[in-house]
Amino acid sequence: MATVLLVEDDAGILKNLSEYLCAEGFKIETARGQAEAIEKLAENKVDLALLDVSLADGNGFSVCAYIKANYSIPVIFLTASDDEYSTVAGLDMGAEDYIAKPFRPRELISRIKSVLRRSGHMQIAELGSLRIDTVKGTVSKRGVEIYLSALEYRLLLIFLNNRGVILTRAKLLEELWDIAGEFVNDNTLTVYIKRLREKTEDDPQNPVMIKTVRGIGYKAD
């Protein structure tokens, strides 16, 4: 899966955006300032940097300049809606795109995936016989594409991001909400796990990828 470095000084935005991006299948590294961002770049293989202009120390322009001088990593700036200077300055420094605050989450995801495609950072993850392209948002099984609903795909990504970890039903309900932004209830969760198994498992009655841990929850191997 693609690793996104999110550099943002607002703790609330950092937390909420990190959780949202994780739910969409991205691995997230976070930093609140320039020095921490440089450390994270050295410690991790980053596929894309998402930078705010104002940081706890330094600024997004300095981080962008450092990235462009030392790495081949695409950059997207988060800018204020009326900040034309920051937008132009960021693009002039080599940023691939920008998105104005407040932004729509789905638009941000689309822009991230578009930049990753253009930059050649295609990401394929595997779970059993499944191949998941987290940039295109597609799933295939032994070369044949499987069509999942938005909720089925989100559920699969949750298991993919927590491979080997037992997830309680309560934990899944926390992370899995429908496209209207409302939490999914317990009965709906049961239905979607059943549907996901029917589409992905060779024998849905005896699943080998998404297993039931009796009395606790589920685990993906």
Query: Residue 77's beta-bridge partner residues?
Result: 51, 98
Question: Of the CATH numbers 3.40.50.2300, 3.40.1690.10, 3.40.50.970, 3.40.50.300, which one belongs to the domain with range 3-119?
Answer: 3.40.50.2300
Tens of pLDDT, residues 6-21: 999 988 889 989 988 8
Q: What is the dihedral of CA 22, 107, 15, 169, to 10 degrees?
A: -40
Is the pLDDT assigned to residue 179 strictly greater than 50?
Answer: no
Domain coordinates in residue numbering, the chain: 3-119, 124-220
Q: Could you give the 3-state DSSP secondary structure of residue 194?
A: helix
What average pLDDT does the segment 177-189 reach?
Answer: 69
CATH code at 124-220:
1.10.10.10
The CA–CA distances, whole Å, from 191 to 129, 132, 152, 185 equal: 22, 22, 10, 10
Confidence category of residue 193, pLDDT binned at 50, 70, 90? very high
Asked if the bond preceding 102 is cis, omega within 30° of 0, the reply is: yes
pLDDT at 181: 57
Structure-model confidence comparison of residues 2 and 97, the more confident one: 97
Please report, rounded to a whole number, the percentage of residues in the chain having pLDDT higher than 90: 43
Q: What is the pLDDT of residue 73?
A: 93
